[in-house]
Amino acid sequence: MRLRNFLAALGTIPSLVHADYVDWRSFKANGVNLGGWLVQESSIDSAFWARYGGNASDEWTLCQNLGPRCGPVLEHRYATFITTRDIDRLAKGGVAVLRIPTHYAAWIDFPGSQLYSGNQTAYLKSIADHAITNYGMHIVIDVHSLPGGLNGLPIGEAMGHWDWFNNQTALDQSLQIIDNVIDFIQNSGSPESYTIAPLNEPADLNKESMSNFGTPAVLSDDGAAWVSKYINAVLDRVSKVNSKIPVMFQGSFKSPDYWYDQIPDDANLIFDVHVYHYEHPPNTTSANLPAQLCADAKQKTGSGKFPVFIGEWSIQAAQRNSFALRERNLNTGIAIFGQYTQGSSYWTAKFTGNDTVNGQGTQQDYWNFGTFIDNNWVHPGSESVSC
Ligand SMILES: *[C@@H]1O[C@H](CO)[C@@H](O)[C@H](O)[C@H]1NC(C)=O
Ligand SMILES: *[C@@H]1O[C@H](CO)[C@@H](O)[C@H](O)[C@H]1NC(C)=O
Ligand SMILES: *[C@@H]1O[C@H](CO)[C@@H](O)[C@H](O)[C@H]1NC(C)=O
Ligand SMILES: *[C@@H]1O[C@H](CO)[C@@H](O)[C@H](O)[C@H]1NC(C)=O
Ligand SMILES: *[C@@H]1O[C@H](CO)[C@@H](O)[C@H](O)[C@H]1NC(C)=O
């Protein structure tokens, strides 16, 4: 009985009995991102970056600096950072959805790109198969970067790269990438287990300063028009091949309402809203985080024309981070997002970065979902939450 309640609270029961395609209007699931696996970030794994990254601020430069060693170093990373044992551990913690960030180079090798194209999709396939076969997990394939650069950040291609916007070559290449993702899913043996997330955090107004990142103002109307052109082309392509595969749209930090009139009413689409408070608002603390998450769940999720998933979030607060409040904040977030949206995926499954935070500890104390599972902290059903 308790186990059943626990699973129901986490939203895993539907996926355990699911053999059909996911309809995100009714499907609910919670899970994690597999950050730092097929997309490297200096903050996620300090030891890896210290060993291989040198003075590089992004994977593009890391690879440039490593030269011919880049391939072997990254292939080793793919083989070891996430293994089937990690998936077993996540399953134990009730994880029912995996959002998996990939660089575009996982899908296609463009001349001139310093991002490494190797065996990413083979590793992706073997981890996804394990998660699907053994645990009925749902897989969100996240194309985290796009050619030319999506947001000037290391994750969008490389630091200082914004050339994806208003660039027809980059758009055409992006659609080739999506065609390859569609092929992968269609040939996976379980296409019903996948959702496609074709872009992440597009931003073009963070060139002077990063202070508006995480707010609607980080993407211009002109930039949004380009995003709209892309997402419509993606919807068109996916629906022509298999209209049952959902598309998850990370519409930067704008409200889903902003996009409604630019998307066909019958699109098989779910919005992905990201919720972070490690910088904004600057008065967020571990103590007031639950109230902030309540406000997010009500205000950032739109008026309901399309379903919403919280594709990334974490419990680090801008100020006064507290060890003692982590368990409460974790379960509050999972519970609230499960109540107001179709669920959430935490950023991220494994995190050993040691950057300092305001208050107690370092980043790894707040961002590592694996530790939360090991500590038996994941029990959102038991958190009494009222917004
Ligand atoms: C963080 O980790 C790196 C790499 O392991 C190490 O060189 C550095 O000293 C650590 N910093 C702190 C503050 O512990
Ligand atoms: C980083 O190191 C490389 C050599 O490994 C050097 O060529 C480059 O100038 C350095 N860049 C910075 C920003 O320090
Ligand atoms: C990719 O995997 C294949 C098959 O396992 C292997 O033969 C090949 O060497 C791998 N490529 C790289 C770049 O590691
Ligand atoms: C357009 O994007 C491509 C990447 O696909 C990039 O190589 C090129 O420099 C960009 N062109 C402009 C004019 O920004
Ligand atoms: C944080 O600041 C905002 C705007 O300055 C204010 O509306 C809000 O009440 C503050 N929250 C707390 C918990 O102090």
> Whole domain around residue 366: which residue ranges?
2-14+31-382
Q: Is 156 exposed, middle or buried (0-12, 13-18, 19+ CB in 10 A)?
A: buried
19 inside domain: no
The span from the CA of 214 to the CA of 192, in Å, is: 32
| Model pTM score | 0.94
The CA-atom distances, in angstroms, between 193 and each of 97, 189, 235, 330, 357 are: 10, 9, 18, 26, 37
Question: Ligand 1 in contact with 50 (CB < 6 A)?
Answer: yes
Pocket test for ligand 3, best of 80, 119, 126 (most atoms within 8 A of CB): 119
Mean pLDDT across the chain: 95
Please indicate, yes or no, if residue 24 is contained in any of the structural domains. Answer: no
Give 4's pLDDT tier (boundaries 50, 70, 90): very low
Q: Whose CA is nearest to atom 14 of ligand 4?
A: 163
Distance between Cα 69 and ligand 4 center (Å): 26
Taking CA atoms only, the protein residue closest to ligand 2 atom 7 is 65
Which bound ligand lies closest to the C-alpha atom of 79?
3
143-201 confidence digits (pLDDT tens): 999 999 999 999 999 999 999 999 999 999 999 999 999 999 999 999 999 999 999 99
Question: Is residue 376 a part of any domain in this protein?
Answer: yes
From ligand 3's centre to the CA of 70, what distance in Å?
14
Ligand nearest to the CA of 53: 2
Q: What is the CATH number of the domain that holds 250?
A: 3.20.20.80
pLDDT (0 to 100) of residue 381: 85
331-344 pLDDT, tens digit per residue, is 999 999 999 999 99
Q: List ligand 5's pocket residues with C-beta within 6 A.
A: 281, 283, 288
pLDDT value, residue 17: 41
Q: Which ligand is nearest to the CA of 165?
A: 4
Atom of ligand 2 nearest to the CA of 55: 1
Indicate whether 115 pLDDT > 90: yes
> What integer pLDDT is reported at residue 322 of this predicted model?
98
Share of the chain above pLDDT 70, in %: 95
Asked if the structure places residue 104 within a domain, the reply is yes
pLDDT at 108 over 60: yes
Predicted pLDDT at 8? 44
Whether 109 maps to a domain, the answer reads yes
Ligand closest in space to the Cα of 56: 2
Q: Which atom of ligand 3 is nearest to the CA of 71?
A: 13
- Alpha carbon distances (Å) from 26 to 242, 259, 270: 20, 21, 11
pLDDT (tens digit, 9 = 90+) per residue, 274-311? 999 999 999 999 999 999 999 999 999 999 999 999 99
Residue 253 lies in a domain: yes
pLDDT digits (tens, 9 = 90+) for 5-27: 444 445 444 444 446 999 999 99
Domain count along the chain: 1
Nearest-CA residue for atom 7 of ligand 1: 50
Asked if the structure places residue 20 within a domain, the reply is no
CA nearest 335: which of 30, 12, 3, 1?
A: 30
d(CA 56, CA 325): 34
Expressed in angstroms and rounded, the spacing between residue 169 Cα and the centre of ligand 4 is: 7
User: Per-residue confidence at 374, pLDDT binned at 50, 70, 90?
Assistant: very high
Ligand 4 atom with least separation from CA of 167: 1
Mutate to test the pocket of ligand 1, among 45, 55, 354 (most ligand atoms within 8 A of CB): 354
Does some domain include residue 111? yes
Report the percent of the chain where pLDDT is more than 90. 93
Ligand 3 nearest-atom number relative to CA 75: 14
Q: Within 10 A of 206 (CB to CB), how many other CB atoms are there?
A: 20
| Structure-model confidence comparison of residues 4 and 364, the more confident one | 364
